[in-house]
Structure 1
Amino acid sequence: MIFSRKRAGAGRQTRDERPEVRDENEIEAVTTPVLTRGPYDISEAPAGVARLDLGSLHIPAVPEVEVRVQADQQGVIQQVVLVHGENALQLGVFAAPRSEGIWDEVREEIRQSLFTDGAAAQEVAGEYGTELRARVTTPDGVTDLRFVGIDGPRWMVRGVFQGPSASDPAAAGPLTECLDGLVVDRGNEAKPVREPLPLRLPRDVADQAELQGEPEGASPDGGRPAARPRQV
């Protein structure tokens, strides 16, 4: 198929400060919540952007970036990975409480899990706030990973970079553009904290996959029909 809120420094996003006119003789500078980059909540997402609607995640269409998903026969997505050249970005989105973000707690749990598996992880101040970088051993050899988290209104996006972008964020290129343009549709229903938000294939893709009789969990680049991003 081709197709984290806090930042380091001052808050989740860079916001524009615009003057608010009280009357013709008085101008007071106030901070207006104008988001200049995402991930965005569905309520604040810019219009006029072509995105692939996967339910809780809407992924912007960026040239030369592949969106690879693994889904079951019902079209429920188990994994989303964006690929560009040697770099990959795995995405996940989770429910969070209204009152506070959860990335700090989740990051510590990831660090402890890596330590238990014999991998050291280091916290680093990054573009999305505090990131976690680790070097792990896989069947394919030693791999660098970079974990980022962005807290939003009642949700958290977790991204895991692999490839050169894991050790050098500047190498992420278009994958950063995808992450910054991501839109989260949390929905209004109550959900347990940290529960993954539901992801589904577009209906037309799921229907075509069912007609082709693909096995459960088939990889989209192994024959799943392509989905076209829609402009919203």
Structure 2
Amino acid sequence: MGLFSRRHRDDAEAADTDQEELAPEQPEEPGSGPWDADDVPAGTAPAGRIDLGALRVPAVDGMQIRMERAGRGAQASAVVLILGGSTLELRAFAAPRTAGIWDDLRADIAAELTRAKATYELVDGDYGTEILAQVPVRTPEGRAGTVAARFIGVDGPRWFLRGVLQGRAATDADAARQLREVFANTVVVRDGVARPPREILPLHEPGATVAPEVEELPGLDPLRPGPTIAEVR
């Protein structure tokens, strides 16, 4: 899902040095992730994490990983994690040093959903306000339908992490538990490059590249076998 990955007009250097903006909102529950690479507590991912560049995601048995690209030959900009019949898309963005961007991004997502004739509501979640949307889609047979998508956002130090749950995990707390744990234990690695707010932090392929059959799940971006699909074993 490629919503709202465009660059902000602000100058990259100004974004990193502006000290007059408010501090970013942190996760409500003390001691919970997602984590910055410099602040990862020991033992938060007993089975280890998979290095994807700007993101390191917990290794969960049976979880499939698919990298998303804007086009052929483009660098990966998002990762889709497939587990238990649902998906979690993760995308990391650059953000100012002292201010979060989730409030602005929520407004942009709401506007985009409205243009797509989707319905949505703001709901309370683990990290504050989330967006729960019902987005119109066409089935392979051409019938009209809707798919649920839940947008989660966390502002970190000079980064923002967006998660999008689809499948049962978007509306069912029990079905979402494993993927939410993955989200909470993800590490964001912000490089030292000066970047404007909302620029996507670069990802790369995981080390393992086996190619299991991808689950057929409805969604805003149909899950088709991509150039790199890995399964954690």
The alignment's TM-score, normalised by the length of structure 2, stands at 0.72
2:66 to 62, 65, 68: 68
Pairing of 1:117-136 with structure 2 (within 5 A): 117-136=116-135
Q: Distance in 2 between matches of 1:200 and 1:224?
A: 10
Fraction of identical pairs, as percent: 40
Tell me which residue corresponds to 2:39.
44
5+ residue gaps, structure 2: 1-23, 140-144, 212-222
Whole-angstrom distance in 1 between the partners of 2:208 and 2:104: 36
2:64·2:232 contact (CA, 8 Å) conserved in 1?
no
Residue 156 (structure 1) aligned with residue 160 (structure 2): yes
Higher strand share: 1
Q: Deviations over 1:106-134 (max 9, x none)?
A: 01100011111211211111112100011
Matches within 5 A, 1:1-232: 6=25, 11-15=26-30, 36-47=31-42, 49=45, 50-70=48-68, 76-140=75-139, 141-202=145-206, 224=228, 226=230
> Retained in 2: the 8 A contact 1:41–1:185?
yes
Q: Quick check: which has more Rg, 1 or 2?
A: 1
**8 Å contact kept, 2:50–2:57:** yes
CA distance 1:61–1:124, change in 2 (3 Å): same
SS in 1 for 2:151: strand
The aligned amino acid for 2:166 is: Q
Q: Which amino acid aligns with 2:92?
A: V
SS in 2 for 1:173: helix
Q: Distance in 2 between matches of 1:199 and 1:116?
A: 29
Question: Deviations 1:22-43 (Å, cap 9, x if unpaired)?
Answer: xxxxxxxxxxxxxx22100000
Is the Cα–Cα contact under 8 Å of residues 75 and 201 in structure 1 kept in the other structure? Answer: no
**Change in CA separation of 1:177 and 1:198 when aligned onto 2, cut-off 3 Å:** same
Kindly indicate whether the alpha-carbon contact (under 8 Å) linking 1:13 and 1:38 is maintained by their aligned counterparts in 2: no
Match of 2:18 in 1: none
CA contact (8 A) 1:69 1:220 kept: no
- Say what the alpha-carbon RMSD is for the aligned residues: 2.8
Report if the CA contact (8 A) 1:52-1:227 is conserved. no
